[in-house]
Amino acid sequence: MVPVTSLAPSTKIHAPMIRHALTLLYLACLIPVLHAAEAKRPNILWLIAEDFGAHLSCTGTKEVRTPNIDKLATEGVRYTRFYNGMVCSVSRSSFMTGMHAVSIGAHNHRTLDKKMLPEGVKPLTSWMREAGYFTANLVTLPEPCDFKGSGKTDWNFQFEGPDFDSKDWADLKSHGPFYAQINFKETHRDYKSPKKADPAKVELPPYYPDHPIARQDWADYLDAATELDRKIGLVLEALQKDGLADDTIVIFFGDNGQSHVRGKQFCYEEGFRVPLVIRWPKNFPAPANFKPGTLDDRLLDGIDLAPTMIDIGGAAKPPKMQGRICLGPRTEAPREYVFGSRDRCDETPMRIRAVANGHYRYIHNFTPEVPFLAANAYKEKQYPVWNLLKTLHAEGKLTPAQEVLCQPRMPDQELYNLDTDPFEIHNLANSTAPEDQAQLKKLRGVLDQWIIDVDDQGRTPEPADTVQRVKSAKPAGKGKGKGKRKAE
Ligand SMILES: [Ca+2]
């Protein structure tokens, strides 16, 4: 029999070894689990609506029917102050790079002589591909959807490498994790959706004339939104049916504000503020700052999407990226301000810069001599209210808020109190109220500094022959084929 005393030293010697061995065994078991957890990353699906403000049933808009987007918002989070604008090619260049368009020379819609992206800046798909994601801009959708994605990219830059890996939904199942997008054209003009909204019941912003033409046009827009919602419902159904829903983050947003007279192409709320809804999939724990079924009123910029996707994909945010991660443990400081820019759109040069802090919006019109209704073939052809305003102005039938749009020049500066004046019709730039003056001074300073900080390339005018080149490059409202320029 071995004396107990002789056992004690031996036990003391072996206990750490046993613990060490157990630790190694534990780690050996754990490492594959960790690798599996690392390997399993969520898919990402962007549903991008064209030219769409947050005109949803769940935001209280009358005469629109959006049960599918409303449901998505109930299952996920709806972001109430998401700014993305102000026009297609410019905002798409921004949210696909995580960079302000003015920083990368992509600020003119559409840029004629597209530059290479600066070193360290790439399209989101390149970063996602490097992170191990399959990328797709879906055109071919499952048969029950019975429609195609538009496949729009519209980027104002050149870059190295492929844009996407596929156009076909059928590739998604076998190529996870994926980053995919579907571009919906319903809410882009021309509006061609089934007529459902009653023009007599729609609610117009006060700066548009209460006229049958304006009411019909707004009803047509809402019908386009209803049709958009129907198609989104079909896509979500397909995602479920293919067993992808529980592994896929769904992100619905507008590429820029609605294509109405004071919306797209301008720096007011109507041009920038668009819906954003995110639904987190069941098979992945939701971030702490994501509470399904709630509203999130943080100020967000379209450029925040790209770094957030890269972070979700498990890669580091590229150092030059100006957007901020807005979900998860690496969420960056909340924005105090959102900025906006407008430069040449089609054949209409105009330079506007804007900043908003959630309560006030300040706008600096650098080209006030260019009137709000400056000639633009696309708008004259496609915006009935554009022409209606001119007619009613000539007849003296406009209200003061509508008359402002028909003036021969823009104000040098504009300041709006968004809390008391959500439609931005009372310009407070010349107000003597101390609070207004304080906001004007503060926001002007912030905007001036931003222009320096982001190296705003709009400070350098385009070559003098640019407008002539744009005019000769496209017939208005036509030219969908390659080599032609489509007006919008
Ligand atoms: Ca657009």
Residue 475: pLDDT band by 50, 70, 90 thresholds? Answer: low
Q: Where are the alpha helices (DSSP H) in 43-156?
A: 67-75, 88-95, 124-130
Distance CA 412, CA 369 (A): 9
How far, in Å, is the centroid of ligand 1 from the Cα of 275?
A: 13
How far, in Å, is the centroid of ligand 1 from the Cα of 153?
A: 10
Q: Are 451 and 459 in contact (CB under 8 A)?
A: yes
List the shell of residues around ion ligand 1, using CB closer than 5 Å: 50-51, 88, 255-256
Q: What is the per-residue pLDDT across 5-40, written as a single tens digit (0 to 9) for each? A: 333 334 444 555 555 555 555 545 444 444 444 559
Q: Where are the domains of the chain?
A: 41-473
Q: Are 177 and 144 in contact (CB under 8 A)?
A: no
By C-alpha distance, which of 239, 178, 177 is closest to 40?
Answer: 177
Distance CA 223, CA 227 (A): 6
Which residues have a Cβ under 8 Å from the Cβ of 137 and sit 6 or more positions away? Answer: 149, 151, 153, 163, 164, 167, 180, 181, 183
How far, in Å, is the centroid of ligand 1 from the Cα of 261?
A: 14
Q: What is the per-residue pLDDT across 380-425, written as a single tens digit (0 to 9) for each? A: 999 999 999 999 999 999 999 999 999 999 999 999 999 999 999 9
Which residues have a Cβ under 8 Å from the Cβ of 35 and sit 6 or more positions away? Answer: none
Q: Are 245 and 279 in contact (CB under 8 A)?
A: no
Q: What is the per-residue pLDDT across 88-134, written as a single tens digit (0 to 9) for each? A: 999 999 999 999 999 999 999 988 999 999 999 999 999 999 999 99
pTM, whole model, 2 decimals? 0.90
* 3-class DSSP state of 430: coil
**Residue 6: its pLDDT value, please?**
37
How far, in Å, is the centroid of ligand 1 from the Cα of 55?
A: 15
Distance CA 369, CA 372 (A): 9
How far, in Å, is the centroid of ligand 1 from the Cα of 8?
A: 78
Mean pLDDT of the chain: 92
Place of tokens 């696909």: 96
> What does residue 182 show for φ and ψ, rounded to 5 degrees?
-120, 125
How far, in Å, is the centroid of ligand 1 from the Cα of 274?
A: 11
Task: Give the Å distances, CA to CA, from 459 to 103, 114, 175, 282, 367.
Answer: 11, 17, 44, 47, 12
How far, in Å, is the centroid of ligand 1 from the Cα of 110?
A: 12
How far, in Å, is the centroid of ligand 1 from the Cα of 255?
A: 5
Strands 115-116 and 157-158: parallel
Q: What is the per-residue pLDDT across 334-354, written as a single tens digit (0 to 9) for each? A: 999 999 999 999 999 999 999
How far, in Å, is the centroid of ligand 1 from the Cα of 46?
A: 15
How far, in Å, is the centroid of ligand 1 from the Cα of 470?
A: 19
Q: Where are the alpha helices (DSSP H) in 359-457?
A: 377-382, 384-394, 400-403, 434-453
Fold topology of 41-473: Alkaline Phosphatase, subunit A (3.40.720)
